[in-house]
Amino acid sequence: MSPVPKIVGGAFNLAGLVAPQKAGQILASIFLTPIPRMPASEWPAELLAESNTTIIEVAGHSVQTWKFGDSKHKVVFCHGWGGCGANSLAILPKLLDAGFEVHAFDGPAHGDGKRRPTNLLEFGEVLTKLVAQHGRFDAAIGHSFGGGAIALALGLGFDVDRAVLIAPMIDSKEATDYFNDMLGLSERLRPHVHEALHQRFADNIDAWDLANWSKRHTTPARIFHDPNDHRVPYDAAVRTAENWENCTITPVADVGHHKILKDPAVIDDIIDFVATATSQR
């Protein structure tokens, strides 16, 4: 691992001796800013030629979206932190073959968007605006942070027949602790980071722990997660599946946090699961 995070963390530890609250607020903004991030989505020419590209506005900033295929049955893919819409490339052709119209996007502060703080609520706003443009979706598929965004959005009125969460970021405290560990922040400073984040999301503090938030969900759902995922802990996904009515979790060994998106067995299971939504309508 690069020594830069520890150097940055050391500087904040010193600043925190003098102004811990201010240091916590700045660190919260850094936490909410996707660094590093992938470049803007690059689609194969044959896919791009058959897509429709649109721009929507979220929080005063542009978000690029893509529509592939044309069908009354629609699926939206929500990428993870630092990712992009093209993270769907492994599953997209099979969704098209299964008769779905597929929507993807480079989320707020991702792709060509301005580097700035963003959050699950802004990703959820993208989903809401896509529904306004294209109509209701049969299914939503989200990876990592995108899975968390879908879990949050479902509790705020986003409505689909099937939800798929792949290695979802569910527990905000665990995510914040990972960030604190990466920077090597002092025990004295860490509570101020959590406090600053709580203040930013005071109106939606119930969703800080999405595993508990999922108790309100009834949408049939599947979670796919590697029990040894070192980036996003598996235990929060297990708690989510236990709390969420009509949700099951499938452990997928030895794929880690990113390779799971390309796992053939996972992709086939997802296609079978979301296809049941169309067979019942």
Write the pLDDT tens digit of every residue in 117-141.
999 999 999 999 999 999 999 999 9
Residue 13 maps to a domain: yes
pLDDT, tens digit, 9 for 90 and up, residues 32-56: 999 888 999 999 999 999 899 999 9
CA distance 46 to 100: 17
For 260, what's the count of Cα atoms within 13 Å in the CB-facing half-sphere? 31
- On whether both 113 and 162 belong to a single domain, the answer is yes
pLDDT top residue among 102 and 35? 102
Helices 172-183 and 190-200 pack at an angle, to 10 degrees, of: 140
- On whether both 225 and 248 belong to a single domain, the answer is yes
Cα-Cα-Cα-Cα dihedral sign, residues 252, 258, 263, 266:
positive
Tell me which residue range forms the domain holding 20. Answer: 1-31+172-208
What average pLDDT does the segment 103-107 reach? Answer: 98
Confidence check: pLDDT of 31 > 60: yes
Residue 36 maps to a domain: no
pLDDT of 1: 55
- On whether both 184 and 214 belong to a single domain, the answer is no
- On whether both 130 and 109 belong to a single domain, the answer is yes
- Which of 27, 34, 36 has its CA nearest to residue 176? 27
What average pLDDT does the segment 216-239 reach? Answer: 96
Confidence check: pLDDT of 278 > 90: no
Confidence check: pLDDT of 281 > 70: no
pLDDT of 66: 98
- On whether both 57 and 70 belong to a single domain, the answer is yes
Across 3-12, 15-24, 144-153, 268-277, least confident range: 3-12
- 82, 36 contact by CB (below 8 A): yes
Looking at the 3D structure of the chain, how many domains does it have? 2
What average pLDDT does the segment 234-255 reach? Answer: 97
pLDDT of 203: 87
- On whether both 250 and 151 belong to a single domain, the answer is yes
pTM value is 0.95
pLDDT of 2: 66
